Amino acid sequence: TWTTAAFVEESVREIRARVGEKRVLLALSGGVDSSTLAFLLHKAIGDQLTCMFIDQGFMRKYEPERLVKLFKEEFHIDVEYVNARDRFLAQIEGITDPEEKRRRIGHEFIRVFEEESKRLGPFDYLAQGTLYPDVIESADTNVDPKSGERVAVKIKSHHNVGGLPKDLRFKLVEPLRKLFKDEVRKLGRAIGLPEEIVQRQPFPGPGLAIRILGEVTAEKLNILRDADLIVRQEINRQGFYNQLWQSFAVLLPIRSVGVMGDQRTYAYPIVLRLVKSEDGMTADWARVPYDLLETISNRIVNEVKGVNRVVYDITSKPPGTIEWE
């Protein structure tokens, strides 16, 4: 039977044997896979590991800071925090087409990754949180015909963009490659990752940028971050987080009329998206209590400047998608 202690011990041994004295780069995303991976590698090779976190500026409120702090203070693992917020925002300035937005964000990710890995490197190995189902699909890797080793040709990064440049092809360390997601969660919990990471709902690579319909601006990002935080707080407080596949806010780029005190308002609506799903392929809108909807709506309209209306998305997938872009 599978025990986490035995797995950790075996992984540490394997990683050391594979990597030797060489340096390893790991891109943290904030999810359970890359976090567990960081822990294992750090245990195995200490300073030979460099963890890099690229902040695109599209994460949820407080998440980048919390991630870096968690790693530094709880795990004593240093994180190279790369603040790339301005350049990502500049890349998508004025862009309203969803696919074009994704494409640009994906390409910028590769550019930043390239620059930063050269600045911090050189590295021989790239650590990837490949899981067993990914090994079977095997889309992000090639097998080197000479050595028979798996070589990264893409970064597993949520971004379906072109491959890595030829001079930047790393050998791979993939200690999670025999595990399924629920085993990673179990492992993550056993090594002391907080529940907020272990049970984290899926979050798309382009993040909040695809939850602001149309053009993304700094102002809209701030509004959505604040609204999204309220959704998360109430969903957590009322015990729904683990029952939902995803729960989040979407900002629409239109404005409608409202009234606040004796003032007429003209501001953005927020869409609440709360769904149940097994695998993200199909999904059902969640039948949550009206009280929960009411609390979220009241808090958003009262606390988030720039929003005067909250609507609930009651579309299932299909025909709707989970995200709005």
The type of residue at 43 is: K
Stretch that binds ligand XMP, among 18-26, 47-55, 92-100, 315-323 (CB under 6 A): 315-323
Q: What is the residue whose two structure tokens read 């029952």?
A: 243
Minimum gap (Å) between residue 133 Cβ and ligand XMP: 14
Q: How far apart are CA 233 and CA 323, in angstroms?
A: 20
Rounded to 10 degrees, the C-alpha dihedral 135/139/316/319 comes to: -150
Write each residue from 134 to 163 as x if it is in contact with ligand XMP (CB under 6 A), else as -, in one continuous string: ------------------------x-----
Pick from 202, 233, 243, 314: which binds ligand XMP (CB under 6 A)?
A: 202
Q: What is the residue whose two structure tokens read 């004593």?
A: 76
- The yes or no reply on residue 78 touching ligand XMP (CB under 6 A) is no
Within 13 Å of residue 108, how many CA atoms lie on the same side as its CB?
A: 22
Q: How far apart are CA 228 and CA 194, in angstroms?
A: 20
**165 upstream amide cis, omega within 30 of 0:** no
- The yes or no reply on residue 178 touching ligand XMP (CB under 6 A) is no
- The yes or no reply on residue 282 touching ligand XMP (CB under 6 A) is no
46 among the known binding-site residues? no
- The yes or no reply on residue 276 touching ligand XMP (CB under 6 A) is no
Minimum gap (Å) between residue 146 Cβ and ligand XMP: 33
Q: What is the residue whose two structure tokens read 């597993």?
A: 156
Of the candidates 259, 260, 288, which has an alpha carbon nearest to the alpha carbon of residue 272? 288
Q: How far apart are CA 116 and CA 80, in angstroms?
A: 9
- The yes or no reply on residue 205 touching ligand XMP (CB under 6 A) is yes
- The yes or no reply on residue 77 touching ligand XMP (CB under 6 A) is no
Minimum gap (Å) between residue 204 Cβ and ligand XMP: 3
- The yes or no reply on residue 246 touching ligand XMP (CB under 6 A) is yes
Q: Which residues contact 275 (CB under 8 A, 6 or more apart)?
A: 244, 245, 246, 247, 283, 284, 285, 286, 316, 317, 322
316 among the known binding-site residues? no
Minimum gap (Å) between residue 40 Cβ and ligand XMP: 22
Nearer to ligand XMP, 260 or 314 (CB): 314
Residues that bind ligand XMP (CB under 6 A): 102, 158, 202, 204-206, 246, 280, 317, 321-323
Binding residues for ATP: 29-35
Binding residues: 29-35
